[in-house]
Amino acid sequence: MTAPVERVSLTHLQIPLKEPFRVAGTEVGLKDAILLVLESREGIGLGECSPGPAGGCESLESCWSELSDRIAPSLLGSSFTTVGDIAKLVAKWDGGNCAKAGAETACWDLLGQARHATIAELLGVSDEQLDMNIESGLTLGLYPTVVGLLKAIECHLEEGYRRVKIEVEPGRDVELVHAVRQHFGDIPLMIEASAAYTVQDLDVFRELDDYDLLMFEQPMAANDLEGLAKLQGAVSTPVCLDETATTIEGTAEAIRRGACKVVNLKLQNLGGFGPAVAVHDLCYQNGVACWVGTTPELGVGRAQGIHLAALGNCRYPTDIEPSSRWFVDDYILPLIEHSAPGVLSVPTRPGLGYQVDRAKVRRYGVRHREVAVGSAS
């Protein structure tokens, strides 16, 4: 059992991106996330609440309110012996999945340290999978020109990435895929559509179906199961759920209706490790492959994803990339790096296996809140 939680601290971090990230209808140049730290007599648990730039998760402000006003105070005095105990605690929380993910994952870190087990081991990852490297995939947003996209891919492929994912939008889809295929040949390639299409666009996907893509990620609105099922029935390329897969019930219904062949597991969208494992296992039981995506998160969130990506049904390269890929800096120690070209190693230290650089947390922190036993602020 963990020692009772005595203090919970929240820090809102802002770290600039190296270049603007563009998806359909959105452009961001700054990453906002909330670092959550649980302290007990025996250890420190780290979590990250990391809303994405293009929907699928609640806003940073709503997360801050939920965590600081309700979830953080409720954690004081809590202790847990199993991941099931954590699930019971989470079940009492109101609010969105993104806020829950920040706190739930910190509890898993604390439990892992108390039990001298890595998070991957708590997840049930086999010894064989623990020894395997996690393949890292390259993700690219929309670029103003095709030439700019091709140059970016060429530059990053030298770092050994195991697949390429490009963003598309209506009117900028077949042209981009054709250009990438023509320039780079048969590299493992997939597209992210950010729910920008409808069933009226089936002909576009029929044309894209000829390009031997790994998958179409979230091509239609999260709740458009009918459209997604029609699309999957019309093409051989797997349809991948992202924003649709935020609950085990919703994912089960999508699978039942034939709306996908792949599911993207995102800790922020699902609310933490417990729900992510449940969806992973559901997919395995139904012959649906998984992989681990990102929002993208900062350091703690990325490290969490490495543990999750070690699960056996995660069959495609993850979106997790080194700390230096997206941001001008990171707050994690050590920085996340490829252990060999294009691959990541599962941490072996208890819990998350990473720490935070306190100086960088102070540097990039824009607000801070603490609650402690015997104090309300």
Residues of the chain with CATH 3.30.390.10: 7-116+355-372
pLDDT tens per residue across all 377 residues of the chain: 789 999 999 999 999 999 888 876 678 889 999 999 999 998 999 999 999 875 445 899 999 999 999 999 999 999 999 999 999 999 999 889 999 999 999 999 999 999 999 999 999 999 888 888 999 999 999 999 999 999 999 999 999 999 999 999 999 999 999 999 999 999 999 999 999 999 999 999 999 999 999 999 999 999 999 999 999 999 999 999 999 999 999 999 999 999 999 999 999 999 999 999 999 999 999 999 999 999 999 999 999 999 999 999 999 999 999 999 999 999 999 999 999 999 999 999 999 999 999 999 999 999 999 999 887 54
Q: In this structure, what DSSP letter does residue 71 have?
A: I
Q: In this structure, what DSSP letter does residue 166 have?
A: E
| Residues paired with residue 22 on neighbouring β-strands, in sequence order | 27
Question: Which one is the CATH code of 121-344: 3.50.50.60, 3.40.50.620, 2.60.40.1250, 3.20.20.120?
Answer: 3.20.20.120
* pLDDT confidence of residue 195: 95
Task: Return the SS3 of 55.
Answer: coil
* pLDDT confidence of residue 34: 98
The set of residues, in sequence order, having a beta carbon less than 8 Å from that of 84 and lying 6+ positions away, is none
Residues of the chain with CATH 3.20.20.120: 121-344
* pLDDT confidence of residue 57: 59
- What's the fold here for domain 7-116+355-372? Enolase-like; domain 1 (3.30.390)
Q: What global pTM score does this model have?
A: 0.96
* pLDDT confidence of residue 54: 53
92, 74 Cβ separation under 8 angstroms? yes
For residue 366, give the H/E element and its range.
strand 365-372
